[in-house]
Structure 1
Amino acid sequence: MIELESLSLKELKQLQKDVDAAITEFKDRERRKALAEVEAFARERGLTAADLTELSSKRTRKSAAPKYANPADPSQTWTGRGRRPRWVEAAFAEGKTLDDMAI
């Protein structure tokens, strides 16, 4: 076991660099090992790396069409997803509903 109290600041900083480098090397080694296992698994089933890449790239999400527009400025739209725009909050404060702003 290392007696950390007996090390100088310079030695501690070098130890820290060495540990960081060892952790990075370990992670890289594990990543390469996992990738090799995935490639072997795919090869056993007749798949190539290109097949796996194609599968993962098909999962793209299309942007949603706007459902609501600002009555005061129709160029401001909202899909109904995510945080409400300020103009929606202002319309709610005026007593309007989403149905009033529907496109």
Structure 2
Amino acid sequence: MDLTKYTSQELNQLKKDIDKELRKRRKQDVKEAQKELKQVAEKYGLAVTDLVSGGGSKSGKGAASVRFRHPEDPSKGWSGRGRKPAWIKEWEAQGKSLDALRVDD
């Protein structure tokens, strides 16, 4: 498609129209995927949430990965979710940065 023949205004309108169409198609794709997922779940006698969560977790949330690790005791880690463990609080009370404990992804 040769876009050089369009004015800036026409290109901006075209972009808006494309974005609108993409949002519309995304909604259609989601509905179709939900329909297919429901059919697969029914085929195996499962709930859709069993397929989405992997079937192992009742809450639908998996175990969070460790984002912070104790510098001297690698068995101590924290995901960054929930209450801060005592060792994190002690670390911060010493004026040290939480970023220093961050685990590289």
Give the alignment's TM-score, normalised by structure 1: 0.50
**Within 2, Cα distance between the matches of 1:81 and 1:6?**
51
**Residues 68, 18 of structure 1: alpha-carbon distance in 2 compared, 3 angstrom cutoff:** same
Q: Tell me the percent identity.
A: 25
Q: Which structure has more RCO (C-alpha within 8 Å, separation ≥ 6)?
A: 1
Over 3 Å counting, the alpha-carbon distance change for 1:65 and 1:26 in structure 2 is same
Larger Rg: 1
Give distance in 2, aligned partners of 1:82 and 1:15. 44
Q: Residue 64 of structure 2 is aligned with which of 39, 61, 64? A: 61
After TM superposition, the structure 1 = structure 2 runs for residues 71-82 of structure 1, keeping only pairs within 5 Å, are 75-76=90-91, 82=103
The answer for unaligned runs of 5 or more in structure 2 is 74-86, 93-97
**Helix, strand or coil: the match of 1:36?**
helix
Relative to structure 1, the CA distance from residue 46 to residue 5 in structure 2 (aligned partners, 3 Å threshold; closer, same or farther) is same
How many residues align structurally? 77
Q: Which runs of 5 or more structure 1 residues have no equivalent in the other structure?
A: 84-103
CA deviations 1:57-88 (Å, max 9, x no partner) are 2522376884727xxxx83299x8715xxxxx
Aligned-residue RMSD, C-alpha: 3.7
Q: Between Structure 1 and Structure 2, which shows a larger proportion of helix residues?
A: 1
Residue correspondence of structure 1 range 28-67 to structure 2 within 5 A:
28-52=27-51, 55=55, 57=60, 59-61=62-64, 66=70
How far off its partner does 1:4 sit? Answer: 3.5
Residues 38 and 48 in structure 2, CA contact (< 8 A), matched pair in contact too:
yes
